[in-house]
Amino acid sequence: MRISSNQYQSVVLLAMQNSSSGMSELLQKMSSNQSMLAASDNPIASVRLLRLQREEASLAQFKDNIGALKSQLTKNETLLSGISANMRDARDILVAAANQPPSDDLKAMASPLASLRDSILYAANTKDSEGRYMFSGSAVNSAAIAYDASKPAGSRYSYNGNGDRQLVTVGEGVTQASNVTLESMAPLLNHLDKAIETLQSPTLDSKDPAVGAAIREVMNGVDTALDRVGGTISELGGAQNVLKTLDGNHESLSLANQQSIMELGDLDYGSAFISLNNFSMALQASQKAYGKVSQLTLFDVI
């Protein structure tokens, strides 16, 4: 079979073009450290890589949410611990008052109780760095505890927020509340306010049984609020432990995903150099063969 010069030229040029194209593609992969420049290079691996990348993006979002949530829960716990300490101090004063010391000593207890009441109110109405009230549920633009001076002692304070929880996604199908509500603070403040008014009464008689009964009633209210706040602090501690465990699980899964992504998407430079060398040798061979054959004529074989 005879092959014309044009046919031979086309075949050789096609071979040289294929070798050059292969070398160019390999050089692009080596410069980008990617084993695939297009999904068509390896469709199955591309699908797996996209799935891993989506999962990695979700894990990164979960980890960011956990970091922000842990910070928020720590702030909540710190503020509640301060409120709890104030309530314990108030209870100590009330215990001393319940022993019904002399009237002057009993009246002197009103001032520290008033300071503790105001401190608890201030903490309950704390705002975050963005100016939102922290303990009002989802009503973040309203103070948690409202005060109405026109009402009588024992009813001046009311809860002004709601019981809604602000849920944050921290895992696949897992949410955690980022806020705490303080409905129990209004009754507590009303109890303290009533006790303060009793102790500030000009006609206060420390030996009056009604005074002792009123103070013991306030102590019961403080105990109830202490139990609720203590339970909330325990829940916050448990939530932070759960978040720590979830964060560790996400970190382990992320490391496994990153390893798989590297195996699927990163270029094997050893194999790439071998292939590049093969393409280079093939190109050089085609060029030399084309140069030799193009110089031949029929007179060379006569």
Q: List, for residues 272-296, the tens digit of each pLDDT value.
A: 566 656 656 666 666 666 666 666 5
Beta carbons within 8 Å of 280's beta carbon, 6+ residues apart: 19, 23
Q: How far, CA to CA in Å, does 39 sit from each of 48, 50, 53? A: 11, 10, 14
Give, as one character, the DSSP assignment of residue 133: B
Q: Which of 31, 30, 26, 33 is nearest to 262 (CA)?
A: 33
Q: If pLDDT is split at 50, 70 and 90, which confidence band does 132 have?
A: very high
pLDDT tens, position by position, 14-72: 666 666 666 666 666 666 566 665 555 566 767 787 788 888 899 999 999 999 999 99
Report the alpha-carbon distance of residue 80 to residue 230 in Å, rounded: 8
- Residue 131: left (phi > 0), alpha (psi -120 to 50), or beta? left
For residue 232, pLDDT beyond 50: yes
User: In the prediction, which pLDDT does 1 show?
Assistant: 46
One-letter amino acid of 4: S
CATH fold for domain 51-260? f41 fragment of flagellin, N-terminal domain (1.20.1330)
Q: Which of 164, 140, 167, 170 is nearest to 66 (CA)?
A: 170
Percent share of the chain, pLDDT over 90: 46
List beta partners, residue 176: 168
Averaged pLDDT for residues 159-168: 91
Report the alpha-carbon distance of residue 117 to residue 86 in Å, rounded: 8
Percent share of the chain, pLDDT over 70: 72
